[in-house]
Amino acid sequence: MNGPAVDLPPGVARILVVGSSGAGKTTMARALAERLGVPHTELDSLWHGPGWVPRPEFEQDVEAMLTTGRWVTEYQYRPVKDRLLTRAEAVVWLDHPFWLVAGRLLRRSLVRAVTRRAYWNGNRESFAMWLRPSHPLRIVFSPEFSAKRRRTEAELAAAAARGVVVVRLRGSRQADRWLAAQG
């Protein structure tokens, strides 16, 4: 998993994009899907119901996406992570430094709270949400950030041992160069 980033093998059509909150998973997944001509499904849009409550149909919707056999999506949400990783042919790990992730996440949260733009199912972020233990800012600025990174490393090492292609990208420049070389 360490070493130079490898290209995805030709014909790969089940791809997970992995990284902490703020790493750019959705942005990378969307761009990669477009380059490869594979559908992208944003898991946040399936998870968040009105009032930020998880949608009861979430797992069924994810299963429907997985059965299509062609998808790019983000690796998140505990109830489906095992299924996602089991069916993936390749994983792109945005393993960015803490300062990059924290800066992006802080900027994103600030913009969302100030603009009050509607996201999934009409949900809007507010400054008060930053106090919730589940808010990405709280997680990134806690010991949980490092713990999650260690868990991810172990999960991806096991996937690589099963033959899943794991591409580990460190920093936005490496990720941008790698993406430009795909497709």
- pLDDT digits over 17-27, tens only? 999 999 999 99
In a domain, 78, yes or no: yes
**Per-residue model confidence as pLDDT tens for the chain (183 residues):** 555 578 899 999 999 999 999 999 999 999 999 999 999 999 999 999 999 999 999 999 999 999 999 999 999 999 999 999 999 999 999 999 999 999 999 999 999 999 999 998 899 999 999 999 889 999 899 998 999 999 999 999 999 999 999 999 999 999 999 999 997
Residue 2 lies in a domain: no
Q: Which residue has the tokens 């489906």?
A: 80
Q: How high is the pLDDT of residue 1? A: 56
User: Is residue 9 a part of any domain in this protein?
Assistant: no
CA proximity to 74, closest of 27, 121, 108: 27
Residue 40 lies in a domain: yes
Q: Is residue 161 part of a domain?
A: yes
Q: Is residue 1 part of a domain?
A: no
Number of domains forming the structure of the chain: 1
3 domain-assigned: no
User: What gap in Å lies between CA 148 and CA 154, rounded to an integer?
Assistant: 10
Return the H-helix or E-strand segment holding 167.
strand 165-169
What's the residue count for the chain?
183
Q: What is the pLDDT of residue 2?
A: 53
pLDDT in tens, 102-119: 999 999 999 999 999 999
The helix/strand/coil state of 15 is strand
Q: Residue 61: give the domain boundaries.
A: 14-180
Residue pointed to by tokens 């800066």: 103
CATH of the domain at 40: 3.40.50.300
Distance CA 151, CA 156 (A): 9
% of the chain beyond a pLDDT of 70: 98
